[in-house]
Structure 1
Amino acid sequence: MRVITANLNGIRSATSKGFFDWMLSQNADYICVQELKAQQADMRDEMLSPNGYIGYFHYAEKKGYSGVGIYSKQPADEIIVGLGIADIDAEGRYLEARFGNLSIVSLYLPSGSSGDDRQQVKFDFLARFYPHLQALVASGRDVLVCGDWNIAHQQIDLKNWKSNQKNSGFLPEERAWMTQVLSDLNWVDVYRVLYPDATAEAYTWWSNRGQAWANNVGWRIDYQLATPDFAAKAQSASVYKEQRFSDHSPLIVDYL
C-alpha cells in the first residue's frame, strides 16, 4: 500500500506544474493533499476525480485559503468532514475517510508565522486537537494522519535549528506538544522510525525567501503519523524532490 501526502500551496498552481501527471504515475492507494486554496466552483474534473481516483474534500469558507482533500482508488465507507468545532472547520483543516477498519486523515495544522494572533490560534488548535487524537487511538481502528503539521519536532528536523528556537514551527511549546502526541498517546512518526538519523533528505518544506531550496535549508513539517499496528507495516519512505509542485515536497510511504 502506497500513501502520499503533499501540501500543494494551491491546487490550481500545483496542477499547472504537473502534480496530477506525477501523482497518477505513482500508483498510490491514497493521496492526501493540503492547502487547496480553492472552493468547489474552482475545481476542474482533473482535480475532482483524476483518472482512476475518487476525490473527497473539505474546503475553507474563506476563498483562496486552506482546504484539504483525499484521493482514493476505492470509494470510502464513510467520510467525516471537520472536527465538529466551528472555527476550526471554517478553515477546512480536517478530513477523514474510512475504509473498513482503516481511517485515512488529511490534516492541515495552522501556521503561526504571520503573527501573535495566528500563533494563539495554533496553540488553541493544538489544545483542542489533542483529545481527538486521543480518541482516534482509543477507537481501536488503524489510523493514518497525513499532512502538514507545521511543526519541526526535533533539532534534526530543520537545517537552522539554533536560529529558529523562537520562531513558529519550532517553539518549545509546539515541540513539547508533538512529544506528548508521540510518547503519551503512542502515535508513531513513521518516517522518523524508519530513518532515525535522516537529516537533509527528510526535509519537506523550504522557504521561498533567499536561496533556501538551492541550499537545502529545509524543515521536516509534513508527516504521516500512524497508530502502532498500522505503523508497523511501514516498509520504506522518501521525499520526492525531482520536480517542484509547491514550496513543499510530497512524502511517500509504502506499507505492507
Structure 2
Amino acid sequence: MLLVSANVNGIRAALRRGGIDWLVASGADVIALQEVRADDAQLRDALSDSVFAGWEVAHSPSSVKGHAGVAVLTRHAVKDVRTGVGDEFDGQGRWLEADVVVDGEVVTVASAYVHTGQAGTPRQEEKERFLAAVGDRVGEWAADGRLGVVTGDLNVAHTQDDLKNWKGNRGKAGFLPAEQAHLDRWGAEHGLVDVTRRLHGPGPGPYTWWSWRGQAFDNDSGWRIDYQLATAPLAARAVRASIGRADSYAERWSDHAPVLVEYAVGAGAV
C-alpha cells in the first residue's frame, strides 16, 4: 500500500498547477490531503477529470469558506470514517480518519492539519490543545493495537534535524519545546513511529516545506513539518519512504512536498 500525504495548498490551485497530475502519476493507493480549502462539490469537481473520480473520497471541510479542510482518497473500500478529535475543533476541517480495507486488513489513515500557532498567544494555546487531543486519540489506537497512521501537516519541526535555520527560529511557533513534547509523548507513550525518519536516517532534512519567497527552495532552507507517524504494528511494515520534492522552483505545485511511504499490507504481506 503506497500512502501519499500532501498539503495541497488549496485543491483548486493544485489542479491548476499540475498537482492532481502529480498525485495520479505517484501510483498511490491511498492519498491523505490537507488544506483542501473547498466544499464537497468543489473537491469532487477538482477530481472529476482524473482517476480519482472513481475512488472513495472522505472529506472534512472547514465551516470557514476557503480555509483548512482534510480528506482521504483511496482506491480501496472504506469501512468507516470519523472526523474531529474533540468538540472544540468540530467544523475546523483539521482531522479525519478513514478505516481503509486492503485485502482484508483494516488500516486507519488519519489526515491532520494542525494550526500554525503564534507563540505567546491564544492561537498557540489552541494549537497545543489540538495536539493534546490528537495524543488522546492515538492513545486509543495504541490500546486496541490497530494498524494506524497519522499523516499530514503538523506544523511542528520535531528536532534540529527538521529545520534548516533552527537557531534563528528558537522561541517561534513550529519550533517550541512545548510543541515538540507532544510528538515526544506520542512516541514514548503511544508507540507512534516517525517512519520517514526511521527509513531515511539522521538529518538534516529531508524537508517538506519551503517559503514561496526568496531563495528558500533553491537553497533548501526548509522545515520538515509533514509526517507519517505510524503505530508500532504498522511501522514494522513500512518498507520505503521518500519526499516528493519538485526538481525546480518552477515545477512546485504547493509550498509543501508530499510524503510517500509504502507499507506491506494486505493478503500475503506478512
Q: What is the match of residue 145 of structure 2?
A: 140
Q: What is the deviation of 1:125? A: 1.1
Task: Tell me which amino acid in the other structure corresponds to 1:133.
Answer: V
Matched, 1:252 2:260: yes
Note the alpha carbon deviations across 1:166-202, whole angstroms, 9 max, x for none: 11010011111111111222110001111221324x1
Cα distance in 1 for partners of 2:48, 2:232 equals: 32
1:92 alignment partner AA: G
1:210 paired to 2:214? yes
Alignment partner of 1:184: what SS? helix
- Which of the numbers 244, 256, 264 marks the counterpart of 1:240? 244
Describe the superposition over 1:123-163 as per-residue Cα deviations: whole angstroms up to 9, x where unpaired.
Answer: 12122222111111112211011111111101001101111
Cα distance between partner residues in 1 of 2:113 and 2:64 = 15
Q: How many angstroms apart in 1 are the aligned matches of 2:254 and 2:39? A: 19
Aligned pair partner of 1:226 in 226, 230, 253: 230
CA contact (8 A) 2:61 2:93 kept: yes
Cα distance in 1, alignment partners of residues 91 and 253 from structure 2: 26
> Is residue 2:116 matched to residue 1:111?
yes
Equivalent position of 1:194 in the other structure: 199
Question: 2:21 aligns to what?
Answer: 21
| Alignment TM-score, normalising by the size of structure 1 | 0.93
SS at match of 2:78: coil
Provide the rounded CA distance (Å) in 2 between the counterparts of 1:119 and 1:209. Answer: 24
Query: Over the residues paired in the alignment, what is the CA RMSD in angstroms?
Result: 1.7
- Following superposition, the deviation at residue 76 of structure 1 comes to 0.2
Aligned to 2:69: 67
Deviation at 1:115, TM superposition (A): 7.2
- Give 3-state SS (helix, strand or coil) of 2:88's partner: helix
**Alpha-carbon contact 1:190-1:225 (below 8 Å) kept:** yes
Unaligned stretches of 5+ in structure 2? Answer: 265-270
Q: Is the contact made by 2:33 and 2:152 (CA closer than 8 Å) also made in structure 1? A: yes
State the SS of the aligned residue for 1:97. Answer: strand
The reply on whether 1:33 has 2:41 as its aligned counterpart is no
Change in CA separation of 1:106 and 1:86 when aligned onto 2, cut-off 3 Å: same
Structure 2 length as normaliser, TM-score?
0.89
- Distance, in Å, in 2 between the alignment partners of 1:30 and 1:181 is 23
Within the alignment, does 1:12 sit opposite 2:12 as a pair? yes
Distance 1:37 1:147, change over 3 A: same
Q: Using the TM superposition, give the Cα deviation of residue 113 of structure 1 relative to its aligned residue in structure 2, in angstroms.
A: 3.7
| Superposition deviation, residue 114 in structure 1 | 8.4
- Aligned equivalents of 2:2 and 2:28: distance in 1? 5
Residues 48 and 54, structure 1, Cα contact 8 Å, conserved in 2: no
- The secondary structure found in structure 2 opposite 1:101 is strand
Displacement of 1:210 after TM fit? Answer: 2.7
**Secondary structure class of the residue paired with 2:64:** coil
Count of aligned pairs: 254
Structure 1 stretches lacking a partner, 5+ long: none
Identity of aligned residues (%): 40
